Structure 1
Amino acid sequence: MGSPVTDRDSYVASVQRDINCLSDNDRNTRKRALDKLNKGMFGKSAPSPEVLQEVFCRNVLPPAARLLSDTVEKNRELTVALLRSAAESLTDVAPLLPLIFPVMVQRLGNVPVLEDSEEIRLQLVDLIGGPILKRCAAPAILTVLPDIVSILVRSFADSFHEIVKKAATTTVSLTESLPPGDFPGQRSRSLPPRSPPPRQQKTQCTFTPPVHRAGSVAGPPWHARLDTSWLGARLGVALAAIEVADLSERVRGRFPTGDIGEVRAEMLLKAITPSLSHRHSAVISLDLWRFVA
């Protein structure tokens, strides 16, 4: 039996041609390479878990992640399938996150949304809410929390109903992955007091309470019971991804003083409340995701 290094080098040599083809100019060559790598690395002839982990993350992942932006829809679809196989099979999913999330947020988390395929948008949100959130520990999720929040906010506004539903269930998975508690480095920054804006610019930030049961709200609105200062501390870094510069201008009159984390938290709640209002599991989960009862 060969040494681990020999086994790794031998396996790399066997798939190197397909890895090189991921960067080929020919669309069909890229397509064949994606299909072969997915079937070969995660099928019946898959290598040992140790070799698979190292070879995929070191050799396959960098060129594969770039193909999430491939000009050919079929190639993007095959790339998502390859990444999902990896997220479901690797012993450690965390190394995937730094390379795939910058591309994913570029495709899904900006305005306009660049990914024009409804099915691929759905598959990407499902990839987050499925193996990524289920198999990654909270510290790893926190490193890409800004991107996840940005993608979810955009997904709640998607014209494809199934994506909105998937965003709601992914929000549930997110709240379950990050239980209440403080995490290092997630404290929000305080802004210096601002001068009061002109009177005509002052508005009140209000929310429409979600309907918990047929036509009525059970108790105080869930968002009213959230400790938004704590939520801002939890998501202070994350919410910076949601067009903070633009949003801060629009909410300046509403929150002339205080903590920017709280402002961002309020804006996130406002963005997701309409879509969550009739999805009870997501509402209940978010209701539980608070600092105090």
Structure 2
Amino acid sequence: AKMEAEDDLQFTEFLKRNKRNINCLVDKEKNIRLKALKEFNKDLFDESNDAVISKFWRNHLLKPLVLIYDDKVEKLRELAIEITSKLIDRFELKDEAQVIISGVVARMDKIPFPEQSEEVRIEFLELLQKMLEKNSYQFVPQLSDVTVMISKILLDLNPDMKNKASNFCVSLC
């Protein structure tokens, strides 16, 4: 109980320090959004208390971070994917997978792709691959959307993309 109280106190302090950056993720100015993402990319991984970071990510950061997947600035999308990927490396994959999968599918399920950057499309697919390896059962609720998305990705002219999509299909099976 004492440890939980300490974690709660640390979480409250961490949330206070980072609440402004969460709000900055939806600011109109790209430089403000970029600064907030860079600070998250540092602060989240400087903090050693996994309980604090896990709770913060799942309850406060996840949805604003996934909204950045749709940002018009490529650098911001790349940074949001990088942060998500590092958090997936650090923690078990739970219900947040549904939010992440929906965000990725929204960027890659139509032709022409809403995601115009080849590099970012590859990063999205690598993120999904990492999620699949971490917890494949999280894909079951959205399997039909994911398979439709993959069928579109396989039409991509980029050979690296086709290769990664093929490998993803094999892993998914």
> Normalization by structure 1: what TM-score?
0.55
Distance in structure 1 (CA, Å) of the matches to 2:116 and 2:150: 16
Report the counterpart of residue 72 of structure 2 in structure 1: 71
Distance in structure 2 (CA, Å) of the matches to 1:35 and 1:165: 31
Report the counterpart of residue 241 of structure 1 in structure 2: none
Per-residue deviation, 1:47: 3.6
Alignment of 1:1-293 (within 5 A): 2-42=5-45, 45-90=46-91, 92-129=92-129, 131-138=130-137, 140-175=138-173
Count of matched residue pairs? 170
Unaligned runs of 5+ in 1: 176-293
Write out the 4+ residue segments of structure 1 that deviate beyond 3 Å after TM superposition.
Answer: none
**Counterpart contact for 1:76–1:120, Cα < 8 Å:** yes
**Counterpart contact for 1:24–1:30, Cα < 8 Å:** yes
Percent identity of paired positions between Structure 1 and Structure 2: 25
**Counterpart contact for 1:46–1:52, Cα < 8 Å:** yes
What letter is aligned with 1:36? E
Report the counterpart of residue 186 of structure 1 in structure 2: none
Distance in structure 2 (CA, Å) of the matches to 1:49 and 1:150: 35
**Counterpart contact for 1:107–1:114, Cα < 8 Å:** yes
Distance in structure 2 (CA, Å) of the matches to 1:49 and 1:118: 33
Unaligned runs of 5+ in 2: none
Change (3 A) 1:159 1:137: closer
What letter is aligned with 1:116? Q
- Secondary structure of the structure 2 residue equivalent to 1:112: coil
Per-residue deviation, 1:111: 2.8
What letter is aligned with 1:55? F
Bigger Cα Rg? 1
Per-residue deviation, 1:28: 0.7
What letter is aligned with 1:157? L
**Which whole-Å deviations, capped at 9, do the CAs of 1:239-270 have from their partners, x for residues lacking one?**
xxxxxxxxxxxxxxxxxxxxxxxxxxxxxxxx
**Counterpart contact for 1:101–1:147, Cα < 8 Å:** no
What letter is aligned with 2:14? Y
What letter is aligned with 1:164? K
- Secondary structure of the structure 2 residue equivalent to 1:51: helix
Report the counterpart of residue 233 of structure 1 in structure 2: none
Distance in structure 2 (CA, Å) of the matches to 1:62 and 1:31: 16
